[in-house]
Structure formats: C-alpha cells, structure tokens
Amino acid sequence: MRQFFILFQKETLESWRNFKWIWMPISFILLGIMDPLTQHFLPQILDSVGDLPEGAVIQLPTPSAAEVLTMSLSQFNMIGVLILVLATMAAIAGERKSGVAAMILVKPVSYFSFVTAKWLSTLLMMWISYFIGMLSAWYYVGLLFEFIPFADFIQSFFIYGCWLSLVITITIFYNTFLKTAGLVGFITLATIILLTTLTGIFSNWLPWSPAQIMSYAGGSLVSEGLPEHTIETIIFTIVTIFILLSLSVVIFRKKELED
Amino acid sequence: MSIIRVNGLKKSFQGLEIIKGLDFSLNEGKCIALLGPNGAGKTSTLRMLSGLMKPSSGSIQFQNENIGKDIRQYIGYLPQYPVFYDWMTGREFLEYVGKLGGLSNKDAKTRSIELLELVGISDAKNRKVGKYSGGMKQRLGIAQAVIHNPQLLMLDEPVSALDPFGRREVLELLEKLKRTMTILFSTHILNDAEEVCDEILFLHKGLIVESGTLGELRQRHQKSKIDLEFHEKPEKYLNHLSERKLISTLNVEGNRASLTVTNIEEAKKAIFHEASVHNWPLTKFEISKLTLEDLFMEVVQK
C-alpha cells in the first residue's frame, strides 16, 4: 500500500511538472463553454460575418438549456476523448521504450501497484479536469440560457464520467503490451470508434454498450428520470473497467518478464 | 558460501537460443567479472539474475531462499544505459527508488545524500537529471543500484561508456563497494576485470567456456612465451632459432616478435647466446605472463 502511494505520488508530481495539471483542465473548460457561447451568439455571429443580403431575417429556434449542455457533452465526447487518449497513450509505453521502467521494476516493486498507480492518477486528473470543464459549461448555460437544476447536472456528470473512465482504462490496457505510444493512441481511438459505430448501427441489440452512455447522459438532462437501461449500462461499464484493469496487470507482468 | 546459484539456465527468443545452459555459483564477498565478446549473452544473463527477465528453463537460487522467489530486494542492478526521469533531480530520483526499495522516508533521504557524496555528484544533486552528462548519469546509476543495500550488485558494462578519468573513479568506487557486497559486472575491457575482480566467468555464444580465479586461469593457460623487440626486422636473426626447433610458434609484427617456446630455459639461453655472438640489435627481451587478452583470444577462437 505504501508502495502504491509512492508511485501514485510520483505520477501526480510528474503531471504537475509537465503542466498536464494546467492544460488539461483548461482544455476541458474551453470545450465546455464553446457551445453555450456559440449557441447564444449565433445570430450576432451570422449577422457580422454572414454574407447575407440587406434585410434578410434569420430565425433560429433557441435551443433549450439541456440541449446546449448536451452539446458540451458531445464536445467532450469528440475532442475531450482525443485529448485524454493523447495525454495517456505514453503512460507506460513511453517508460518502457526509454528503459526507465526497467530501472524501476528491478527494485522490489509490485507490477500491480505500478499499473494501478498510473491508472488511478490518470483517472484522477481526468475526473478533475472533466468536472471543471463540465461545471463551466453548466455555469455558462445558466448565465446565457437558464440554470439546470444542480442535481440533474451532477447526475449526467457522473453518468458520462463512466465512459471517459473506460476510455482511460482502454488506453492503459493497450499500454501494457504495445511499446509505441503512437500505436497505443491509434489503436485506442480505433477501438472507440469501432465501438461507437457498432453501437450506433445495432443500437437496438446493444442497449448495454458503454458507447450508449453519451446518449443516456444527454437523455437524463432532457427528460425526467433516467433513460431506460442507464443503470445496467453503467454497471456493465464499471465491470468492464475492472476486468480490463486486471488483464492489464497480468499482461504487463508477463510481457515485462518475457523481454 | 555461495550467494547465488544458477542451474541449467536457458533463454530463447523466438526460437533462437541465446543462453544455452549456464551452471555456476557466485561466492559471497567476491568481485566477479562476466567476460565475453559482444553478443555472448552477458546482458541477458544479468537481466535474468536480476529478475527482469524470466528464464526459458533452469533455476536461480538466492542463498537459502526458495527457487523462483522474488529476489529483487537483495539485488542492485545497473543496466548498460541507465535512464532516469529527466524531470526529477538526482536526489529526488534516489529518494524515489530508495523508498520503492523499502527504505523509510527518513532513511531514503539520508542514504541519498550519503550516496551522492560517495559517487561524487553531490554538487549536482538538485539539478534535473536531464541536464546530467553521461558520466554523471553512470554515477547516479551506481548510486541508485546500491541505495537499498543489496547483497548482490550487478553492473552491465559500468565503465564502457566513460572517459579514462571516469573509468578510474568508477573502478575505485567498485573497490570500495566490494567490502560490503558481492559484485558481478560484465565487461569486455579486460584490464578492468583484471584490476578489480577476484574471479572470472567467461561467456561465449551463450555458454560458460572458462571460469575461475585469475591465478587458476593463468596456471591453466600459461604458455612459455617470449617477446622480443629489435631495431630492425627480426626475421633473419630468428631463423637460427627456428632451425634448432626451439620455437613452436612465431609471430612477427614490425620490429616485434613474440614466440612460444617448448622449453623456456633452453630458449632463453639460446637467445642470449645468439644475441651476444651475432650482435643482435635487441631493444627488449621479456618473458611474458599470460594476459586476459591472450586468454580472451584463445577462448573466443576455440
């Protein structure tokens, strides 16, 4: 346990020294407030840049607050996921490639702690950045449209956070057996895209697919109560996360000792 | 008393056998050199002993521990190219690995300071490792290898990348460390092995081809060898000796000749006789001892 804490501390310090703790929250804030701002100022923006004939009247339906917050969520779902994968893809692969992993693992360090410390520290940073980003989105939506009840906001925040946690876990999983960070990033993104596409096509047959979480999180904002299958999907996602994490430890240990 | 015992150790990568069955044991408190040409399997052997790599077959037993037990806590290891976290300072890195090695926070601190002093980089302790020179990294590497007071220290080519001064200092450091721990280091620089080591393991093509103390090896491989140096080309002078069947092999290089002889006393007498009678322009006469280099060549060419 002490060893896990030492490793975890090192990860946190590293992210601090290379400014991840600064740019990650900032990126999420930007992603979060982009849609509330553009949606609110869209008529003015079109007016000033649009090459419209004199006197043309644009009539846009004003989106509801819940719809705008859902747009912020889908920003996280596109660019947020990309940022998370890029920031995590070298977590273990980079250390193995440079050889510093071997310097550490020749000490009596447990492989379990080594992998889980990285996983948890990345997860911590993701949840904090994502929370700050989501909170800013909620605040701007409140200012420019109307305030969504905080409880609803928190509910959708936690629902969607499960999907982002899965993304981090998949990235760490690929890290344990691929040595090139770029390849880890590529394969992780490919997996996510494949999962999302398949879920989109067969959505009726895959109600529990983690890729549904995005629509459930949005749905929970728009309608009363939780959309159908939300709880099952979350439980399924969390179970998947722990299975992947255990596999990561096993594979990492085996891989390290082989070469 | 042996500190580590290796039995039938083998390792293959993708069907290619790199280590073809090693059996040896290392004696406690000794300094042992693992010699061998490039590609002999030195690094793989060290990685297996340190627990970084799993053997394909065979066993490694540390003192009285059970075979297959995790022995990393007893072992200090320095890879050939040590790498660190560039964003840490030297002192932070030592404290970090010290704590991972089981030291308390306080002990990790004091031991780091001590070791930085010992390896001679305490001036740079608060500088980022990314800014260290190659020699400084090598020293930091040695410090991190011994921070948790291992009983067996293994170093992979610790001096190959250093300049002559750095080499000297690292060798002196090893002399100091030798008093408190068993040391196994790999090298292909024979002088270094000769200087600090008590025993030698010769690895060639994944097998141990020769082992023992330096003295034993000398005795086993000693040949009567005489080195001569002349002012001019020596061939014409040596013909006489060849005719008398005193020389078994003759090797001429420029003005130098080295000859293996069957009977050293007779050969000596004959050479001195010839030299004074025919007035040889001789500048050097030496009955040479077997060097590790000779042994190296002999073993590798076998």
Tell me, what's the pLDDT at A100?
A: 93
Please report, as a single letter, which amino acid is at residue A110. S
List CB contacts (< 8 A) between A108 and chain B.
70, 72-73, 100-102, 148
Cβ of A104 within 8 Å of Cβ of B75? The answer is no
Q: How far does B152 lie from chain A, in Å, by closest CA?
A: 13
Which has the higher per-residue pLDDT, A25 or B160?
A25
Hey, which residues does B257 pair with through a beta bridge? Answer: B228, B252
Q: Is the overall model pTM greater than 0.80, yes or no?
A: yes
- Residues 67-126, chain A: which have Cβ within 8 Å of B? 98-100, 102-109
- Among A175-189, A238-252, B220-234, B270-284, the range scoring the smallest mean pLDDT is B220-234
Complex ipTM, two decimals?
0.88
- Among A50-59, A199-208, B10-19, B159-168, the range scoring the smallest mean pLDDT is A50-59
Q: How far does B198 lie from chain A, in Å, by closest CA?
A: 26
Report pLDDT digits (tens) over A190-236.
Answer: 999 999 999 999 988 888 899 999 999 998 888 888 888 899 999 99
List CB contacts (< 8 A) between B82 and chain A.
103
Contact criterion met (CB below 8 Å) for B126 and B141: no
Cβ of A102 within 8 Å of Cβ of B52? The answer is yes
Report pLDDT digits (tens) over A57-111.
Answer: 777 788 899 999 999 999 999 999 999 999 999 999 999 999 999 999 999 999 9
Which has the higher per-residue pLDDT, A220 or A244?
A244
| pLDDT range class, residue A259, cuts 50, 70, 90 | low
Cβ of B50 within 8 Å of Cβ of A258? The answer is no
Tell me, what's the pLDDT at A19?
A: 94
Highest mean pLDDT among B131-140, B191-200, B235-244: B131-140
Cβ of B144 within 8 Å of Cβ of A106? The answer is no
Please report, as a single letter, which amino acid is at residue B201. L
List CB contacts (< 8 A) between A118 and chain B.
none
List CB contacts (< 8 A) between A257 and chain B.
52-54
Distance CA A6, CA A235 (A): 31
Euclidean distance between the first and final Cα of chain B, in Å? 32
In Å, what is the CA distance from B110 to each residue of A156, B19, B147?
50, 40, 10
Cβ of A102 within 8 Å of Cβ of B87? The answer is no
Hey, which residues does B286 pair with through a beta bridge? Answer: B227
Cβ of B52 within 8 Å of Cβ of A98? The answer is no
Q: Which of A14, A98, A104 faces B97 most closely, judged by CB atoms?
A: A104
Contact criterion met (CB below 8 Å) for A66 and A173: no
Contact criterion met (CB below 8 Å) for A101 and A257: no
Task: Report residue B180 CA to chain centroid gap.
Answer: 19
Residue B289 has pLDDT above 70, yes or no: no
A1 touches chain B (CB under 8 A): no
The pair of three-digit structure tokens given for residue A149, joined into one six-digit string: 């009840």
DSSP string, A4-16: HHHHHHHHHHHHH
